[in-house]
Structure 1
């Protein structure tokens, strides 16, 4: 599951083949740095977008001159010099990196999602590129695999959103689709007041079940990926499912009790991972 605050990213996991760990670190370093620009600190929106534009310029340079070391500004060289090498060495597509950047730019400018379709579109750029890059690293980027990886990554992203409703509210963000809030009779004032009402529980139960279905739909991918790679993916999926279980067990109170994975959760995830996926 998560490493530090960039959740659901299997950074240099011991389950990953050693030959891929450096590449994963390089991708993670890029994603985390861009995510921090969008989310952390006290910069203005204009300043954040300008810094992300510098990332975009470096990506264009890498795309135009594959394998070259970008002539980046000194502060960007530690990110883009190794990333350029990883992209060239593993013949990674450049589009997922642009997609991630687009999502981080959207984090700066968009604070609400009126419908589920627009939220899925955001996830297609904020989460799915990670899974797609991993499949390219594994040499397993077949269309069926990519589709199921998308389902897993979107499911993990949504699980993180439902886990972090209160955290995101403090950043003036709401990822719960507006259409679902209206349908269940939950207002932004209810979120601000942390009202744990029957309407709130019904709303969250709906989100949890829909997210669980996404994770289930992508889970067969772990059967097809061999060895430690498949094991890694099983553990990642189990982490997302476990977060959803914790939300349910808390009675959907994510206001006062942010669901987090403890030692017992990790033990349960490991046990489930070692069993067949027919139990998912």
Structure 2
């Protein structure tokens, strides 16, 4: 199996909403985005699937060495071999790829976030940076597009946090800021026990409002000059915003279930957004 095929299989297996716009890209950009997404999945899986923190830390160290090998070394993993080709085509900064690993390492060190400022750093590393790298692959002429891409990445991560509250709690992690739980009168024990209280719904309504503000900020930053090149991100945004709408319509019942959009609906949103952009 070639490195590109390995990454494509990794993307296909994820069935993520994030990948819906990939198939609308030309082959070099699709392969580069597959490599970036496969890398994110590999390092995220280290944290989620390795139950010994010391072992997970060692594996992240190994991935950092692999990423550093993109600068004149010899990468060995199929994902980093694919990233080497992507970097050659699109000049992807190694330091930004390494910063994603820094974000994953935060999951080994923190299970709670005292406030949004601390959470924002995590979102920057695991999602904002991915937005920046994606923008490089899609292409742009106005550097303000990078500000748009970063803000959109944060919006995606905030949506993921809302969707995955229950799943994350079962792994022992709560990404909702602790000071906001206190402000809305939400007890950690209710989240861990999957109790949907009126206080929890109010807290999640606030989280959704913040996510929508980040989407609005991102769209306001996107220069018209680069709108067509950045269509894949707009496709992802249409799907993620629809997912957020569905979660809110269901009353934020995210503690004991996970909301999905059917593949046909995602495909329709992708095509509609692509043609309109």
TM-score (normalizing by structure 1): 0.85
**What SS is found at the alignment partner of 1:174?**
coil
Match of 1:166 in 2: 166
Q: Deviations over 1:130-174 (max 9, x none)?
A: 111122123327441111111111111110111011100010000
Highest RCO, 1 vs 2 (Cα 8 Å, sep ≥ 6): 2
**Which runs of structure 2 are paired with 1:16-27 in the superposition (5 Å)?**
16-27=25-36
Q: Following TM superposition, where does structure 1 have runs of at least 4 consecutive aligned residues deviating by more than 6 angstroms?
A: none
Match of 1:47 in 2: 55
In the comparison of the two structures, how many residue pairs are matched? Answer: 266
Unmatched runs of 5 consecutive residues or more in structure 1? 71-75
Contact 2:70 2:84 in 1 (8 A): yes
Q: Deviations over 1:27-85 (max 9, x none)?
A: 2222211111111144x10000001101112222323x2xx533xxxxx4323233223
CA separation of 1:53 and 1:139: change in aligned 2, threshold 3 A: same
Are positions 1:135 and 2:135 aligned together?
Answer: yes
Are positions 1:111 and 2:119 aligned together?
Answer: no
Match of 1:73 in 2: none
**Which runs of structure 2 are paired with 1:195-210 in the superposition (5 Å)?**
195-210=195-210
Q: CA RMSD in A?
A: 2.5
More helix by share: 2
Unmatched runs of 5 consecutive residues or more in structure 2? 1-10
CA separation of 1:14 and 1:271: change in aligned 2, threshold 3 A: closer
- Taking the aligned partners of 1:182 and 1:272, their CA distance within structure 2 comes to 41
**What SS is found at the alignment partner of 1:127?**
helix
CA separation of 1:151 and 1:202: change in aligned 2, threshold 3 A: same
Offset at residue 270 of structure 1 (A): 4.3
